[in-house]
Amino acid sequence: MRSRSLMADADTTRALEALRQHPHVDASTIQVEKRTDGTTDVFASIRVCLPVKFSKRGFGARGVQALEPVRFRFPSSYPLGPPVITLRKDFDQNLPHVQPRPGEVRPEPCLVDGSVDELFFAGGLATLVDQLAQWLTLAASDELVSAASGWEPARRDRNESLLFFDSSAARTLAEEQCNTTFVPMGYVELPKDIGGTFKAELVIQRVAIKNRACTTPHFKQGDPAGTGLGVICTPSPDQTQNRYVPDTVADFAELKSYAHALGCGESFDRAIRVLTRHARPSGAERRLLSVVLAVRRPFNLRDSDSDLELLCYFLRLASKGFSDSLPVLPATHRDPPNTALLARVSGLQGGDPSPYSVLGCGSLGSKLALHLSRAGQPPVQVIDSAPWTPHNAARHALLPAEEESFLNKATLLAWQLRKALLCRTEGVDADATRLLLEDNTPLKPVSVLVNATASLRVRHALAGTQQLAGARVIETALYDGGSSGVMLTEGPDRNPSTLDLLAELYALAESMPLLREALKRSKHTSVDVGAGCSTSTMRMSDARLSIQAAAMAEGLLRVIPQGALPETGQLDVFQTNDHGLTRSTTNVSASLLVTPENAPEWKIHVSHDSHMAIESESKGDSNENGGILMGLLSEAAKQVVVSRTLAAPSDSTRSPTRFTLGTRNRDQSIRSASESYANGLTWVGTWHSHPKGGDPSQLDHETCGHLAKQTAGQVAILLIWTPSGYRALLADPGRLSGDEHQ
């Protein structure tokens, strides 16, 4: 105990020294008083920077003196906590930024927008005194509220009840109506043992007060919950209230006079007249009424873009109506979690967001939707046909109650977003492929469709569909137990498409060995999820999946809220490692689209990279030239994606009228290239040049026919470079006549 007391003395001495040396502390005024409860009071005067014009009289606005006496009450635990700083008893309490301290005679200045404890630990005692000097200096210029800092909401010394409503909707109503508006209210009364006050929610939609269904409460005495009525009183025109006055309203008479003082008197009186006439309660009914005074301030409220301050109260009407002594409870307003609030808290600026939907509500899709919704950017629709099953609990964003298990995932996700975040997301229980290829009527128009299905079928259906009406697809997928993730963002007019971007991903793997190995390793395994039942999934922890989902959601948040989709295609690769996650982004230019002359329903997508390679070998060469094409095929989408070229075998021959592709090491080089492209790219055909232009030759058509017989039932292409553009033929086993088949 002795050592503790010595420590305390050393701490106190150090604190006193900090005060003595502070430029705003008049060291000659410091007095110390040890108290029996272990706390220590230090009295000192603070030098205030008065406006110079008041130097003569020695005090500034609100009677703030050039030397203000203050008390620092150091807790016995100091320096584990800051001293409580209070002002002299007769300091003007009608100032903003004074802590509500019921029963305390010395006002306590509110020194920081946040925690005094944190400020103390960040900067020490001197920083508290810095803030105190600043506070007093601003008080002396009557500047504790200013346009720069925003209007400070009226201080209340008792704030127990909570009133939820959408403040921007209420303000819009107040601005438009310039009148009195009644709105429906639902509420619960909290039990006496936790304060016995109310928690209510207003629905900001106007109701006619003559409608008794709205005004008659379903609530009887003793019921814990019910419906009531809210009234929004608007300011009379030209009524701007410049003076900050703490709110001490406790009964009806005070509320009425406060409403008049704040410029809402006319509207308030009208509300009371209407209520008295139409909504008189009878018998045991006790109606709960909430009153919202919308007070016009000279500038915007702190951290707000509105100059209307909303002051809320509860009144519990008895049968005798509005007597002056009717008790009034102040209520704290809270915005329900609307998208604007969520976007603000997430640090997003307002913009013109791209509406989007999410295909696939599995682990990744649900987390993306939740991350974006929590940032105030909910999807228009979430789409999935699968039900929730218990093994989803390992990684899914939702943890449904037992009775909700086995419901459709999209329905569950949308329901959760609507309930908890007040989003308007719609859940669609449907098979994505069917929606894309057969009946798209349930799909709402969007700018972006996020494909988080990790389904090859959906990927190919998306590549082939014409039903997206201008929407661009962003595909998200995880590989190799989440060690790698990719996000493929289509370019304008879906060029490059997700298939083009996927081919580019495989091509990139050549120079990214970790990605290459991850892609090669990536596979699903069968996991036992019940008797006689297993599921094919990828084994990875929720934490690993969440790292990837969070990084992808951040990527989406860079484009969706501002409607700022990239001007090219974009390929993001996310790789987790021992240190966290790295992201590499590649911009992918649009592909050249070529229609084979013998198969107009097919499309050949020639990547920018391949085009440059072909052009550099062909342009200016009088001989025909050629080589091998590597890429992807999609029979479902009728597309051939050419991603990279391989050099022609060494035994190829070139002349001004003919190019013959050799065979030396041809198959080996294709195999080895395919290997370096993580086995994602395969041989899709050949190219050659016609330096003098012209249509595909008879020989080309013949070669095409031969080729079709040798491709094991898959298509291949003959791509022909000419100075005026590409021509192409499709070698399609599907077009061989019966004779040719043999």
Partner 1 sequence: MPIPEISLFPVGNGDMTLLRTGDGQHLLIDCNIRSSADDPDDSTLDVASELKDRLPTDSYGRKYVDAFLLSHPDEDHCRGVQNHFHLGAPKSDIGDKILIRELWSSPIIFRRKSKNHPLCKDAIALASEARRRVKKFRDEGLGGCEDGNRILVLGEDEDGKTDDLAEILVKLDACITSINGAHDSTFSATLLGPLPSDTDEESEALSKNRSSTILSVRLNNGDARAQLLLGGDAGVEVWKRLWGRASLGALDYDFLLCPHHCSWRSLSFDSWSELGEQAKPDSDAVNALSQARDGAVLVASSKPIEDDDSDPPCVRAEREYESIANRVSGEFVCIGDDDAAVTEFEVGALGLRRKVKHARTRGMGAQPLPHG
Map residues 148-187 to x or -, x wherever contact with partner 1 holds by CB under 8 A: x---------------------------------------
What's the token pair of residue 303?
A: 């951290």
Nearest CA to 506 out of 588, 583, 568, 565 is that of 588
Binding residue (CB under 8 A) for partner 1 from 99, 146, 535, 568: 146
Neighbours of 222 (CB within 10 A): 8
Does 741 engage in binding with partner 1 (CB under 8 A)?
A: no
Closest approach of partner 1 to the CB of residue 80, in Å? 17
Closest approach of partner 1 to the CB of residue 89, in Å? 24
Map residues 92-121 to x or -, x wherever contact with partner 1 holds by CB under 8 A: --------------------------x--x
Among positions 9-48, residues that touch partner 1 (CB under 8 A) are: 18, 21-24
Does 303 engage in binding with partner 1 (CB under 8 A)?
A: no
| 133-141, 409-417, 514-522, 545-553 -> range binding partner 1 (CB under 8 A) | 133-141
Long-range contacts from 32-39, C-beta under 8 angstroms, 24+ separation: 37/76, 38/75, 38/76, 39/73, 39/74, 39/75, 39/76
Angle at 371 between CA 368 and CA 373, to 5 degrees: 105
Q: How far apart are CA 648 and CA 626, in angstroms?
A: 6
Three-state DSSP at 10 gives helix
Strands, E assignment, 224-379 = 225-233, 288-296, 308-316, 328-334, 356-359
Closest approach of partner 1 to the CB of residue 533, in Å? 41
Closer to partner 1 at the Cβ: 123 or 191? 123
Closest approach of partner 1 to the CB of residue 46, in Å? 10
Q: How far apart are CA 139 and CA 579, in angstroms?
A: 50
Binding residue (CB under 8 A) for partner 1 from 30, 32, 61, 318: 61
In the 8-state DSSP scheme, what is residue 318? B
Closest approach of partner 1 to the CB of residue 63, in Å? 13
| 96-104, 129-137, 530-538, 616-624 -> range binding partner 1 (CB under 8 A) | 129-137
How large is the C-alpha radius of gyration of the chain?
Answer: 36
Does 612 engage in binding with partner 1 (CB under 8 A)?
A: no
Closest approach of partner 1 to the CB of residue 618, in Å? 41
What pairing do the DSSP bridges indicate for beta strands 592-594 and 580-588?
unpaired
Binding residue (CB under 8 A) for partner 1 from 2, 4, 53, 192: 53
Q: How far apart are CA 195 and CA 197, in angstroms?
A: 6
Closer to partner 1 at the Cβ: 122 or 420? 122
Does 636 engage in binding with partner 1 (CB under 8 A)?
A: no
Closer to partner 1 at the Cβ: 146 or 623? 146
Map residues 645-684 to x or -, x wherever contact with partner 1 holds by CB under 8 A: ----------------------------------------
Does 138 engage in binding with partner 1 (CB under 8 A)?
A: yes
In our burial notation (b when 16+ CB lie closer than 10 A, e otherwise), range 160-169 reads: bbbbbbbbbb
| 128-136, 195-203, 283-291, 342-350 -> range binding partner 1 (CB under 8 A) | 128-136
Three-state DSSP at 44 gives strand
Closest approach of partner 1 to the CB of residue 114, in Å? 8
Closest approach of partner 1 to the CB of residue 241, in Å? 17
Closer to partner 1 at the Cβ: 22 or 516? 22
What's the token pair of residue 311?
A: 């002051």
> How many chain residues are in contact with partner 1, going by CB under 8 A?
35
Residue 511: partners with Cβ closer than 8 Å, 6 or more residues away = none
Please provide residue 421's backbone torsions phi and psi, each rounded to the nearest 5 degrees.
Answer: -115, 5
Start-to-end CA distance of the chain, whole Å, equals 103
Binding residue (CB under 8 A) for partner 1 from 32, 126, 169, 592: 126
In three-state form (DSSP H/G/I as H, E/B as E, the rest C), the secondary structure along 563-620 is CCCCCCEEEEEEEEECCEEEEEEEEECCCEEECCCCCCCCEEEECHHHHHHHHHHHCC
Binding residue (CB under 8 A) for partner 1 from 39, 99, 127, 522: 127
Does 143 engage in binding with partner 1 (CB under 8 A)?
A: yes
Binding residue (CB under 8 A) for partner 1 from 11, 26, 41, 142: 142
Closer to partner 1 at the Cβ: 69 or 100? 69
Binding residue (CB under 8 A) for partner 1 from 2, 56, 192, 741: 56
Closer to partner 1 at the Cβ: 135 or 356? 135
What pairing do the DSSP bridges indicate for beta strands 381-384 and 356-359?
parallel
Closer to partner 1 at the Cβ: 12 or 141? 141
Which H helix or E strand runs over 633? strand 626-634
In the 8-state DSSP scheme, what is residue 316? E
Please, what sign has the CA dihedral across residues 272, 277, 278, 282?
Answer: positive
| 123-131, 214-222, 264-272, 457-465 -> range binding partner 1 (CB under 8 A) | 123-131
Residue type, 147: A
Are 715 and 602 in contact by the 8 Å Cβ rule? The answer is yes
Closest approach of partner 1 to the CB of residue 16, in Å? 14
Closer to partner 1 at the Cβ: 2 or 53? 53
Closer to partner 1 at the Cβ: 142 or 254? 142
| 138-146, 202-210, 213-221, 603-611 -> range binding partner 1 (CB under 8 A) | 138-146
Residue 87: partners with Cβ closer than 8 Å, 6 or more residues away = 68, 69, 70, 106, 107, 108, 109
Three-state DSSP at 81 gives coil
Q: Contact positions toward partner 1, by CB under 8 A?
A: 18, 21-24, 49-56, 60-61, 118, 121-124, 126-127, 129-130, 133-134, 137-138, 140-143, 146-148
